[in-house]
Structure 1
């Protein structure tokens, strides 16, 4: 849920993408793309660095030049890029929403849809959760901090909609906690039902925050 980077860390992606600023032809970008391609039909434990290098059109020695720690470093970078791209894509999907409630509603609906439609992520979560978890655990505090900063920025921009006396920093952390919880466990709500999601946002997320 972000737009172009503005003044207050309003894009929850910059701290996630370890290759930020590198062009698509940079060897590290090519290796990360090749890693995700190879994972489409390989388990995390079976990921072959030789295959990754070959898929990227690079040598194994080049791979180790940029990722000297090997497989874990490459997976860490690939997942960071993937998560950053998720938030950037979500940003574009909600940017046209003119109200705070609408932006959060659209963000939850679109976020859940994108997660459910991500076949590789679903396979890894369902079949290789134990191996995936350490990498996601490393990313989680960064995601939370950047999402909370983005939400604090949103609350500033939509300040006319807020109840008097709302602590925006506290409210942003509360919202970030709930949003990540719902994205992580979407089965509790039908996120294809816009009216229901809007009511959830209005009563559970923004209750006590909106005027």
Structure 2
């Protein structure tokens, strides 16, 4: 017998595979049910919101996977706050560029995917802020920050800047770890990291 969590994972896997193969506009509940090896009725019992809920849940899971992969590829915060945050920038930029399905959807179906991504963005920002607040708190304890830095405000500000630069790096070469460290030191954590 299949557990609820196994079926839920199969449904999300099927949704992702359908979008990858046919695009977001062509996604149907019926196609997801067939690919997941279940009936429409069973799918609707697990995902009562139908197509829109399938999309939202799949995007949320992919965002969690994305940031899990980012965090798995960066040094621990104890290696130094600038190096840790710069590695997040480099990894996020690289993994975002390597996500074929997202890149294709942004080019071919931006009108369909952007509203869904907009609903997830606050969750991404919140999770990143939480991580950076904890990272900055630890860095303050190691003496890496300027005295009297409000780590809650600094973490929130840094998260917003980081997401902005990953989404649109401008003239910064985020494939270059040294340049990413300069970006973090001089822009993202400017005034936060202790000088010297």
- 1:90-133 C-alpha deviation (Å, 9 max, x unpaired): 11111445110111111111110000011100011111111112
Q: TM-score, normalised by structure 2?
A: 0.91
Match status 1:81 vs 2:61: yes
- CA–CA separation in structure 2 for the residues paired with 1:197 and 1:143: 20
Aligned residue for 2:68, secondary structure, equals helix
Aligned length: 189
69-78 or 129-138, which deviates more: 129-138
Distance (Å, rounded) in 2 between the aligned partners of 1:208 and 1:110 = 24
Output one character per residue of 1:164-190: Cα deviation in whole Å (capped at 9) or x when no partner.
111111111110111110121135321
Is 1:112 the counterpart of 2:87? The answer is no
Matched residues in 2 for 1:207 and 1:187: separation? 18
1:24/1:30 contact within 8 Å kept: no
Separation in 2, partners of 1:207, 1:35:
42
Structure 1 residues 151 and 182 mapped into 2: Cα distance closer, same or farther (>3 Å)? same
Check if 1:174 corresponds to 2:157. yes
User: Is residue 44–residue 128 contact of structure 1 (8 Å, CA) maintained in 2?
Assistant: yes
Residue 172 (structure 2) aligns with: 189
2:17 paired with 1:37: yes
Which of 161, 173, 177 pairs up with 2:144? 161
| Unmatched runs of 5 consecutive residues or more in structure 1 | 1-22
Higher helix share: 2
Unpaired runs of at least 5, structure 2: none
- Partner of residue 27, structure 2: 47
Question: 2:114 aligned with 1:133, yes or no?
Answer: yes
Structure 1 length normalisation: TM-score? 0.85
- Is the 8 Å Cα contact of residues 132 and 158 (structure 2) preserved in structure 1? yes
Matched, 1:149 2:140: no
| Cα distance in 2, alignment partners of residues 96 and 161 from structure 1 | 15
- Higher relative contact order by CA 8 Å / sep ≥ 6: 1 or 2? 1
**RMSD over aligned Cα atoms:** 1.6
